[in-house]
Amino acid sequence: MKLLGMFLGIVIISITCIIDDIKTIKPIQKLAGQLLAAIVAVGFGVRIEDITLPFLNTIEMQEMFSSIITVIWIVGVTNAINLIDGLDGLSSGISVISAISLLIIFVLNDSPMVAILLITALAGALVGFLPFNFAPAKTFIGDTGSNFLGFSLSIISILGVAKTYTAAVIVLPLIVLGLPLFDTFWAIIRRLIKGKSIKAIFKADKGHLHHRIVAKGFSQKQAVLILYGISATFGIFAVIMLESGIWKALSFLLMVIVAISLGYRNFKTEKIDNQRYECIECKYIYNPKFGNEKAGIPPGTPFEDLPDDWVCPVCGEGKDMFEIHQ
């Protein structure tokens, strides 16, 4: 029954997003499709039920509360993977890293075989697809693909911990999917503060992690690989936490943070002043030495200091479509 609910939800998600890819629907309409898919899955028995907390007895959630929490989780993860799909190979790569991390966790935790088979199939499909989706992409995932990945990961993560309601295991999928979930959570907060209304949540902006990394001077490929590394760090942290406990996991995280800090410091030191940036769409080159006076950008303005709404004066693409000119 749970698998039937998952597949029916995938059908609903796919129909909604195919329509969106073809003719573009309003964000609220797409959200309605995601909610319907999640509700159908919950209706067929996919639910986060009771949780055992350390030093406390098992907490059994009421069916209504359990259903609401599950719907929020499914819709949240679905949107998290969808929203991080801003660069070639980003959402598919993070999804395959998350899937492999969950696979290792499920095997170590003796999770239900159906969850292990599903996550293995998803990881295998993504490994085969990623070379065609990585920059420069030959095949694009679209809204249909990113929503499918998010929806599948959210359901499978529930099935994988269905018989082990300990706090440590319940939190592992949350850690594995930490990067896209954090990016989505921060996007909601950022848009609410900037727009000062609920409607602002549905308005796209250039404040996602991949936009900010590119704005710092990294190429699109470099930005994708950096985010792969962060996602893999979350996955390894979750596996170490399951096998060796929180303190060894935190020690690993500390070493990664130190390594990243030193690497970024070296990048900043070696970065060439007035580095030129090239639009990957039309090959226009932005030179900070000359600026872009027609757009009100004075000479000497570094690329990272350009306004978020600045666009290429030739083709109209945003800053995220620029990379360091070689």
Q: Enumerate the domain spans of the chain.
A: 2-266, 277-324
Question: Percent of the chain, pLDDT > 90?
Answer: 24
Task: Compute the distance between CA of residue 268 and CA of residue 159 in angstroms, rounded to an integer.
Answer: 44
Which pTM does this prediction carry?
0.74
Task: Compute the distance between CA of residue 230 and CA of residue 147 in angstroms, rounded to an integer.
Answer: 21
Residue of higher predicted confidence among 301 and 198: 301
Buried b (16+ CB within 10 A) or exposed e, 229-257: ebbbbbbbbbbbbbeeeeeebeebbeebe
What mean pLDDT is reported for the chain? Answer: 82
Residue of higher predicted confidence among 62 and 134: 134
pLDDT, residue 161, reads: 76
* SS3 of residue 323 by DSSP: strand
pLDDT, residue 189, reads: 86
* SS3 of residue 120 by DSSP: helix
- Confidence at 55, pLDDT banded by 50, 70, 90: very low
Lowest mean pLDDT among 4-8, 72-76, 188-192, 273-277: 273-277
Question: Percent of the chain, pLDDT > 70?
Answer: 87
pLDDT, residue 323, reads: 83
Architecture of domain 277-324: Single Sheet (2.20)
**Residues 155-194 pLDDT 10s:** 998 888 765 545 555 678 888 888 888 888 888 888 888 7
* SS3 of residue 278 by DSSP: strand
Closest Cα partner for 238 from 161, 307, 125? 161
**Residues 279-318 pLDDT 10s:** 888 888 888 878 887 788 888 888 888 888 888 888 888 8
Task: Compute the distance between CA of residue 74 and CA of residue 179 in angstroms, rounded to an integer.
Answer: 16
Query: How would DSSP label each residue in 46-97?
Result: -----EEPTTS-EEPPPHHHHHHHHHHHHHHHHHHHHHT--STTHHHHHHHH
Average pLDDT over residues 83-87: 84
pLDDT, residue 272, reads: 46
- Token pair, residue 87, equals 């660069």
Q: Which H helix or E strand runs over 14? A: helix 2-23
Closest Cα partner for 114 from 45, 14, 50? 45
Lowest mean pLDDT among 36-40, 54-58, 225-229, 235-239: 54-58
First to last CA, the chain: 55
